[in-house]
Amino acid sequence: MSSNLHPMLNVAIKAARAAGAIINRAALDVESVRISQKQVNDFVTEVDHAAEEAIIETLLGAYPDHAIWAEESGRTRGRQGSDNVWIIDPLDGTTNFIHGFPVYCVSIALSVRGRIEQAVIYDPTRNDLFTATRGRGAYLNERRLRVSKRTDLRQCLISTGFPFRPGDNFNTYLRIMAEVMSRTAGLRRPGAAALDLAYVAAGYTDGFFETGLSPWDVAAGSLLVTEAGGLVGNFTGEPDFLEQRECLAGSPRVYGQLVAMLQKYSKFASAGEKAQVRQALGTLSQASDGAAPEVAADDGEPAPRDA
């Protein structure tokens, strides 16, 4: 680790690499990993718990007065109420991991008085280390990152996450996907939101959007994007997104175009915009009648198939 890095970032890197070592060892025999299910299609493994414990022990060993906010253990560790809060996803992309699909990562961010100041995203399969300190830029290993320079949306590659939980509105997502796919060069769904944001920062993709995300999914990646010259917010373009369960990121020009396209799908959209979406969804539902596979019902549950 570099002596030029912020001391807290150095500790976060040490924690991320410790978690990555646990993940890589388990990946050698992933079929033996014990898996449980938090809810439908939302998995957790013994590796998630072991990686999270290694991260927390490393962070609190250096900063015992800091607070912890982690995906699996919540806000139970450290000194809750501290101005310094470590936001941790020990294994983002668990579903990928348990299938042996090599797209997952460790995500660690430090929030100081509500603002993300340090960020680490570590991809243990590629040994890719994404880091950022507020005001000091974003890096992949030793290389400074900048967001993509593309400005024409038709030439842009956009990443996203598909809805997968009960209650997700699949019809709305199908409508969003139809709009984005018809106006861009392509849409990708890698399956790990933290890496999606890191890839926006690196310029591998030009933008990213997803709903249903938790703070530990986006905290570290959001700082990477902004330190690489990009923008992050909700679908209406407001920068307050961390706990709003909708995230949009991209280079400045692409971000603006995506806001114009997606803001009507935001839970913060105006009544008129929401009515426009409902009308479009009604048309989509009628067009899908009799087709296979069926799209989901408007309440987010799968529509029943004909017997």
DSSP three-state, residue 87: strand
| Residue 92 annotated as binding site | yes
The secondary element (H helix, E strand) that includes residue 220 is helix 215-227
Q: For residue 200, report the phi and psi dihedrals to the nearest 5 degrees.
A: -65, -45
- The answer to whether the annotation marks 301 as part of a ligand binding site is no
Q: Which residue's structure tokens are 């960020």?
A: 119
**Residue 71 assigned as binding residue:** yes
Q: Which residues contact 273 (CB under 8 A, 6 or more apart)?
A: 263, 264
Determine contact, residues 105/111, Cβ cutoff 8 Å. no
The position carrying tokens 């430090």 is 110
User: Angle 169-174-180 (CA atoms, 0-180°, nearest 5)?
Assistant: 125
Spell out where 165-227 has E strands: 186-188, 207-211
Q: Is 128 annotated as a binding residue?
A: no
Asked if 298 and 170 count as a contact pair (C-beta separation under 8 A), the reply is: no
CA angle 144, 147, 150 (to 5 degrees): 140
Structure tokens that stand for 304 in this block: 């029943």
Strand pairing partners for 69?
Answer: 87
Enclosing H/E stretch for 110:
strand 105-112
**Residue 289 is labelled as binding a ligand:** no
> Which residue numbers belong to the known binding site?
71, 89, 91-92, 217
> Which residue numbers belong to the known binding site for Mg(2+)?
71, 89, 91-92, 217
